[in-house]
Amino acid sequence: MAGHGQHVDPWAEVDFDEIQDQTCLEVDDIKVLFNCFQLFDSKHQDYLLADDIDEVMRAMGFRPTATELAALIEEIDEDGSGAIEFGEFAQLCAKFLVEDPDPGTMQAELKQAFRVFDKAGTGFITMVQFREILAEVDPNLSEVDLDGIIAEIDEDGSGTMDFDEFCEMMMSSPDDE
């Protein structure tokens, strides 16, 4: 009975390591994408046509604009064949699955937040103001906690935080230390 295809590895064609390197997706996500890819690759050609990608993306719940889609396909269809292989398809979907805003967007959002705190428009937030903000955001912080946070942020001892320091604080995660 062996050799009659009962125990075929459905993932044999998928280079998980390479796709993970390119997309930062988890193996389970890649498997789901591969299943979707195969569903739409009804002729079993191992590729999807660029023209079909819009329909596929919408079926998966993504809503790229025509311009976004054209730009993505151009970026991902490196050989310009109009045929999107699975690896390329995974990269395309990853752009919608891995919600990591680009630095420009991030900077703009932080600038808006900074302006809210910099009420006087001076270009900096005083540590006194920042301490009040922290206390509002987390009423459970003790005076000692607040002193520690302020000391960490106000490394130069200026008593103020400019936009760059604010960005650095907002973009660093607690694990960075």
Mean pLDDT per 10-residue interval, the chain, length 177 residues: 57 83 83 85 86 80 83 82 87 74 69 79 87 80 88 84 79 53
What is the rounded CA–CA span in Å between residue 163 and residue 170? 10
Nearest to 22 by CA among 87, 100, 101, 97: 87
| Integer CA distances (angstroms), 92 to 19, 37, 150, in order | 11, 12, 42
With beta carbons less than 8 A apart as the criterion, state whether 90 and 56 touch.
no
- Residue 130: count of CB within 10 angstroms of its CB: 22
Q: What is the pLDDT of residue 2?
A: 47
Q: What is the pLDDT of residue 144?
A: 92
Amino acid at 93: C
What is the rounded CA–CA span in Å between residue 96 and residue 14? 20
| Integer CA distances (angstroms), 65 to 39, 72, 103, 166, in order | 23, 10, 21, 33
Q: What is the pLDDT of residue 6?
A: 55
